[in-house]
């Protein structure tokens, strides 16, 4: 598994497009980031960053820490890192579908609000 395969899977989802920016290729839906190469130096080479609810991230990492992980840089964000060399095509396809639902739902807004904390 590599980024091109992940890109192919994601582009098969409704409304997903590839977007080329200053930091490389990302996959977006309705203008919102769905996934991209994990480019921060703390991420392992060949990793994909996928937007996902932090509670779901914890479950993924508990179920298979060889595939799913997070570094301190990515921990504050609603995302999980995926070792593409260790994930199956079907598991990645399911994760990208789940991520698409998350990114386009109100759950994403709730995650952002909880990260910022309560307003006075």
Tens of pLDDT along the chain (120 residues)? 899 999 999 999 999 999 988 778 899 999 999 999 999 999 999 999 999 999 999 999 999 999 999 999 999 999 999 999 999 999 999 999 999 999 998 655 545 544 554 444
Distances (CA, A) of 100 to 7, 29, 50, 56, 120: 13, 7, 9, 14, 32
HEC secondary structure over 29-86: ECCEEEEEECCCCCCCCCEEEEECCHHHHHHHHHHCCCCEECCCCCCCCCEEEEECCC
Length of the chain in terms of residues written: 120
pTM of the model: 0.85
Q: Looking at the structure, give the CATH architecture of the domain made up of residues 3-108.
A: Alpha-Beta Complex (3.90)
């Amino acid at each position: 598994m590599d980024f091109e395969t992940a890109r192919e899977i994601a582009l098969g989802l409704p409304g997903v497009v590839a977007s080329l920016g200053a930091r490389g290729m990302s996959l977006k839906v309705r203008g919102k980031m769905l996934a991209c190469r994990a480019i921060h130096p703390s991420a392992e080479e060949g990793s994909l960053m996928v937007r996902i609810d932090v509670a779901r991230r914890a479950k993924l990492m508990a179920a298979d820490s060889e595939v799913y992980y997070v570094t301190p840089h990515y921990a504050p964000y609603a995302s999980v890192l995926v070792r593409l060399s260790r994930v199956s095509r079907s598991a990645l396809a399911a994760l990208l579908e789940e991520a698409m639902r998350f990114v386009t739902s109100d759950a994403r807004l709730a995650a952002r609000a909880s990260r910022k904390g309560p307003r006075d």
